[in-house]
A and B are shown apart, each in its own frame.
Chain A
Amino acid sequence: MFPELGQLALVCALLVAAVQGVLPLAGAQRGRMAWMAVARPAAYLQLGLVGLAFAILSHAFATQDFSLRYVAQNSNTLLPMVYRYTAVWGAHEGSLLLWALILAAWTAAVARFSRRLPMPVIARVLGVMGLVAVGFLAFLLFTSNPFERLLPAAVEGRDLNPLLQDPGMIIHPPMLYLGYVGFSVPFAFAIAALLDGQVDTRWLRWTRPWTNVAWGFLTCGIALGSWWAYYELGWGGWWFWDPVENASFMPWLAGAALLHSQAVTEKRGSFRGWTLLLAIATFSLSLLGTFLVRSGVLTSVHAFAADPTRGLFILMFLGAVVGGSLLLYALRAPNENDGAPFAAASRETLLLANNLLLSTACAMVLIGTLYPLLADALSLGKISVGPPYFALLFTVLMAPLVALVPFGPLTKWQREQASRPFAMLVPWAGLAVGVGIAAFFLAPQGAWKVAAGLLGATWVVAGTLRFLWTRVRSQGNRFTAEMLGMTLAHAGIAVFLVGALLVEGLAQQRELPLAPGQSVTLGDRTFAFDGVVHREGPNYIADRGTVRILDGNDRLVTTLHPEKRRYASGGQVMTEAGIAAGFLGDAYVALGEPLGGDAWAVRVHRKPFVRWIWLGAALMGLGGFVTATDKRFRRTGVTA
């Protein structure tokens, strides 16, 4: 009974979204107030309906209703309660429902917090978001219905993929989707501006916090995914450049360019074309990411690959949304030279370089991700583009960006004497180079990476502190949330650089057979293996190892329990690494295969500064959130 109600709620939500997508847009074109006024109530109603559907699916999971195909495929009587709720978004249909729910929530939030905007603007924005919702709800209902019945009902469910039975995985998808879907707000504003024919900087100011918040969520979502891969996949890597990761990274890069470009357009009126195009591109890449992950075009080893109608549907949807937006852009984009003129040496130029570098990096990731598909389509054989391509090109593109970061905030808008910011930064560049050289000679291994990481980090931190100092000294009290957010995010880059390059340069690992009583030493830590015992979990049996970590003086630091879990339902074997986390580095142990007797193949790692990768990402995300709180964004009057 309940599932049919859920289905009905989705059908109604689709109808409401269609009304929300058509009437307000038509009303804005024709100046009909009554039609435009439909937008807000429709947005709230849609949230209620999609929320109801989501609640009903969650209820079906909680009560183990195996008469629903989706529940039977992704749950099991042994599944612990908390994972029954997270299993709702554990596979294709449910993640799409979560997507639709988050879109409805963002739409309702826009409806709620847009009182000061002119009615035609808000009607167009909510209308565009309604059209996006139509696409997703139709996709859900026609190709991926989570409420499909299974007749006869299954006695037992197949279980949630054990990879996803993990706390990190509970919040990773919602965070990611909050980011992806959040970019629909600047996108809708860009479309509204193109339809209207003018890019009003006051509306743009209203959009900026939304972009920053979406980008902050996306940053946290990506970082959580990376952290999860680090401890769950069992071999100590934190980024693999695989298509699913790239799918989330592309909108992140475009989004980073967008929020800088928006700042220029809002403050100086320049870069209107860039801002509109980046807003379209960022959301389009979010959709493309969904397409790549959900259509099975790139990852057809997954279960959802079998259905090409899904791929075709998303492709048509993508074609309509992105093709339509870009056509609109081509026909109606404003002239680039509308804004205040600027000289070659100016903050505008630096931010233009920022836009170019981030966009190029994004294109580079896109090409690398799709190249195997191109090769396959042209029958050139099956090629995979690996980390060497990505790592090299990414480093080449990001190095100049890191070099330019400290200049940005210190350089004046419009016109600058090139020597002024240089003079302010020369001592700090000297310090950074000194640190880099010292690191090069002191590093026990990976000297180039360690030196590059510390040089880059020192440069960015010192340059950012120099900006803070200038700000505090000259204008004392005028330190806005926007500046604080920028400072945090830029500091995050430095922290990330330390983590990423030091762990690449200094990590140590060994894979070796160990019998109980044997030990292995890596650097100043000794890993003493005490053997493996059997243990029963709620829905798995595990081989649980005990490894004592000893410091240089043979004193016990901590005891780790790496596991190999075999899940009862599907027989899938999962590795749970044992990690002694530390601010300055992790000790990491994973069990390999049993070797006969009591001996096991054991993998041990030292991962110096690996936490800094996620700490840096967290700072960047926090920077996005803090920026969004700036009071200036909530003023409507025109300021200089």
Chain B
Amino acid sequence: MSEGRSNAARFLPLAIFFALALLLAAGVWLSRNPNREALPSPLIDKPAPQFTLPVLHEPGRTVTLADLRGAPFVLNVWGSWCPSCRDEHPVLTRFAETKRVRMVGFNWKDERADALRWLDQFGNPYWLVIADIEGKSAIDWGIYGAPETFLVDANGVIRWKHVGPLTDALIQGELVPALDAIDPQGRKGSR
């Protein structure tokens, strides 16, 4: 190196990069919360879509949204084909055992026999399972993957939604507080 003259301009790219790195670090810091950019579903605080679907265990019987009114319920979308649903299953079972709220399974695009075998094998955490074999109702609910979970209040209004497997932390941190807000009586564990 013939000359050691270092004028300020030479440090400019480094300074710009430093500012950029700070910004990216802020981005990483923000992205620690995975729900940061989870856009609120347009369905939140809107009435749940109407549906008429057969009950998985009794194919002759159908259930509509109106049948479920009167108390809050959790709608959990699952399928026997979905590996994450199996990861989620123990979490769901633990929560169901608290009997805090009715758990409705939404069996999505599944074969009836497979779904029944799955529930037999791993246990059935649900109060009721409805089956959407063709996935037409799922479109109304804006479902784009399994598992997915909705909280619907006593008047049939969607109050909370989560895409992806539930965890104990999510249930305690988000689902239960949301439930407490809409159903303070249920807190005593009356159901």
For residue A392, give the distance in angstroms from its CB to the closest CB of chain B: 23
The reply to whether the CB of A571 lies closer than 8 angstroms to some CB of chain B is: yes
Whether B135 lies near A571 (C-beta < 8 A) is yes
Quote the shortest CB–CB distance from A52 to chain B (angstroms): 28
Residues of A within 8 A of B138 (CB): 571
A426 to B154 CA separation, bound complex (whole angstroms)? 78
Contacts of A157 in B (CB 8 A): 83
> B24 at interface (Cβ–Cβ under 8 A)?
yes
Tell me whether A377 and B28 are in contact in the complex, defined as CB-CB below 8 angstroms, given that A330-B13, A571-B135 are known contacts.
Answer: no
Q: Which of B3-11, B63-71, B89-97, B172-180 contacts A (4 or more CB under 8 A)?
A: B3-11
Is A335 close to B, CB under 8 A? Answer: yes
Number of A-B residue pairs having CB atoms within 8 Å of each other in the complex: 104
| A12–B83 alpha-carbon span in the complex (Å) | 33
Say whether B127 faces chain A, with CB atoms less than 8 Å apart: no
Residue of B with least CB distance to A196: B1
> 1/0 per residue B1-39: CB within 8 Å of A?
111011000110110011011011111111110101110
Q: Which of B11, B23, B83, B138 has the most CB of A within 10 A?
A: B83
Which B residues lie within 8 Å of A305 (CB)?
31, 34
1/0 per position for A263-293, CB-CB distance to B under 8 A? 0000000000000010011001000000100
> Cβ of B17 and Cβ of A156 under 8 Å apart?
no
- In-complex Cβ contact of B31 among A156, A300, A318, A370 (8 A): A300
What is the distance, in angstroms, from B167's C-beta to the closest C-beta of chain A? 11
Interface pair A315/B25, CB less than 8 Å apart: yes
Q: In the complex, what residue of chain B is closest to A593 when comparing beta carbons?
A: B139
Docked complex: B44-103 residues within 8 A CB-CB of A: 79, 81-84
Q: Point out the residues of chain A lying under 8 angstroms from B145, CB to CB.
A: 570-572
- Cross-chain contact B27 with A377 (CB below 8 angstroms): yes
Contact residues in B for A291 (Cβ distance below 8 Å) = 24
Does B13 contact A329, Cβ atoms closer than 8 Å?
Answer: yes
Give complex CA distance A158, B26 in Å.
Answer: 33
A326-B13, A373-B23 known; A308-B135 Cβ under 8 A: no
Interface string of B139-157 (1 = CB under 8 A from A): 0000011100000000000
Q: Does chain B have a CB within 8 A of A311? A: yes
Min C-beta distance of B32 to chain A, whole Å: 5
Chain B residue total in the interface (Cβ 8 A): 39
Return the chain B residue nearest A366 by Cβ.
B20
B23 and A300 within 8 A (CB): no
Interface size classification for chain A: 35 or more
Kindly state whether residue B108 has any CB partner on chain A within 8 Å.
Answer: yes
Measured in the bound complex, the distance between the Cα atoms of B126 and A61 in whole Å is 35
* B109 part of interface (Cβ distance < 8 Å): yes
Asked if residues B10 and A330 are in contact (CB atoms below 8 Å), the reply is: yes
A295 adjacent to B31 (CB under 8 Å): yes
- Asked whether B23 lies within 8 Å of A315 as measured between CB atoms, the reply is no
A317-351: CB near B (< 8 Å → 1, else 0) gives 01100110011011111010000000000000000
| B82 surroundings in chain A (CB, below 8 A) | 158, 570
Contacts of A308 in B (CB 8 A): 28-29, 31-32
- Give, as a whole number of angstroms, the nearest-CB distance from B9 to chain A: 9
Whether, in the assembled complex, A25 has its beta carbon less than 8 Å from a beta carbon of chain B, the answer is no
A431 within 8 A of B: no
Is A322's CB under 8 angstroms from B6's CB? no
Taking the nearest CB of chain B, how far is it from the CB of A355, in angstroms?
14
Residues of B within 8 A of A184 (CB): none
Q: When A377-B23, A572-B144 are in contact, do A295 and B28 touch as well, CB less than 8 Å? A: yes
Q: Tell me which residues across on chain A come within 8 A of B21, comparing CB atoms.
A: 315, 318-319, 322-323
List chain A residues, Cβ under 8 A from B23.
370, 373-374, 377
Q: Which residue of B lies closest to A328 (CB)?
A: B14
Instruction: Quote the shortest CB–CB distance from B126 to chain A (angstroms).
Output: 20
Given contacts A382-B37, A571-B108, contact A323 B27 (CB under 8 A): no
- The reply to whether A330 and B31 contact each other, CB–CB distance below 8 Å, is no
Q: Report the minimal beta-carbon distance from A509 to chain B, rounded to whole angstroms.
A: 24
- In the complex, the answer to whether A569 meets B81 with C-beta atoms within 8 Å is yes
The interface residues of chain B lying within 8 Å CB-to-CB of A301 are 37-38
Q: Is the CB of A306 within 8 A of B27?
A: no
Bound-complex Cα distance A240 to B62 (A)? 45
Contacting pair B37 A331 (CB below 8 A)? no
Q: Which residue of B lies closest to A154 (CB)?
A: B83
**Residue in contact with B83 in the complex, picked from A72, A197, A326, A566, CB distance below 8 Å:** A72
Task: Closest A residue to B1 by CB, please name it.
Answer: A197
Known: A72-B83, A300-B36, A569-B81. A326 touches B31 (CB 8 A): no
Quote the shortest CB–CB distance from B131 to chain A (angstroms): 14
- Is A237 part of the binding interface, using a Cβ–Cβ cutoff of 8 Å? no
Using A156-B83, A329-B10, A370-B23 as known contacts, say yes or no to A297 and B144 having CB atoms under 8 A apart: no
What is the minimal beta-carbon distance from B3 to any residue of chain A, in angstroms? 7
Task: State A571–B139 Cα separation when bound (angstroms).
Answer: 11
- Is there contact, CB below 8 Å, between A329 and B14? yes
Contacts A330-B13, A377-B26: A300 and B18 contacting too (C-beta < 8 A)?
no
Chain B residues near A280 (CB-CB < 8 A): 13
How many Å from the CB of B83 to the closest CB on chain A? 5
Minimum distance in angstroms from B134 CB to a CB of chain A: 9
A331 and B24 contacting across the interface, CB-CB below 8 Å: no
- Neighbouring B residues of A421 by C-beta, 8 Å: none
A300 to B34, CA, bound (A): 7
When the two chains form their complex, are residues A158 and B144 in contact, meaning their CB atoms are under 8 A apart?
no
Q: How distant is the Cα of A298 from the Cα of B37 in the complex, in angstroms? A: 9
**CB pair B34 A297 closer than 8 Å:** no
Q: In the complex, which of the residues A280, A318, A374, A571 has the most CB atoms of chain B within 10 Å of its own CB atom?
A: A571
The reply to whether B13 and A277 contact each other, CB–CB distance below 8 Å, is yes
Closest approach, in angstroms, between the C-beta of A598 and any C-beta of chain B? Answer: 17
Which residues of chain A have C-beta atoms less than 8 A from B79's C-beta?
571
* Chain B positions within 8 Å of A418 at CB level: none
Contact of A331 among B6, B29, B83 (CB under 8 A): B6
- B1, B24, B84: the one within 8 Å of A297 (CB): B24
Docked pose: A374 CA to B26 CA in angstroms: 8
**Chain A 551-589, CB within 8 Å of chain B: the 1/0 string?**
000000000000000100111100000000000000000
Rounded to whole angstroms, the CA-CA distance of A329 and B2 in the bound complex is: 14
Residues of B within 8 A of A569 (CB): 81
Hey, which chain B residues are within 8 Å of A73, CB to CB?
A: 83
- CB of B1 within 8 A of CB of A326, answer no
A297 to B10, CA, bound (A): 30
* Residues in chain A near residue B30, CB distance under 8 A: 297, 373, 376-377
7 A-B pairs in the complex with CB atoms less than 8 angstroms apart: A197-B1, A308-B32, A315-B21, A323-B14, A326-B17, A377-B23, A377-B26
Q: Which 8 A-B pairs have the closest CB atoms?
A: A297-B27, A377-B26, A311-B28, A197-B1, A326-B14, A330-B10, A330-B11, A308-B32
Known: A305-B34, A330-B6, A377-B23. 5 other contacts (CB 8 A): A315-B24, A327-B14, A329-B14, A331-B6, A571-B146
By a beta-carbon cutoff of 8 Å, the part of chain A in contact with chain B is 72-73, 154, 156-158, 197, 277, 280-281, 284, 291, 295-298, 300-301, 305-306, 308, 311-312, 315, 318-319, 322-323, 326-327, 329-333, 335, 370, 373-374, 376-377, 382, 566, 569-572
Residues of B in contact with A (beta carbons under 8 Å apart): 1-3, 5-6, 10-11, 13-14, 17-18, 20-21, 23-32, 34, 36-38, 79, 81-84, 108-109, 135, 138, 144-146
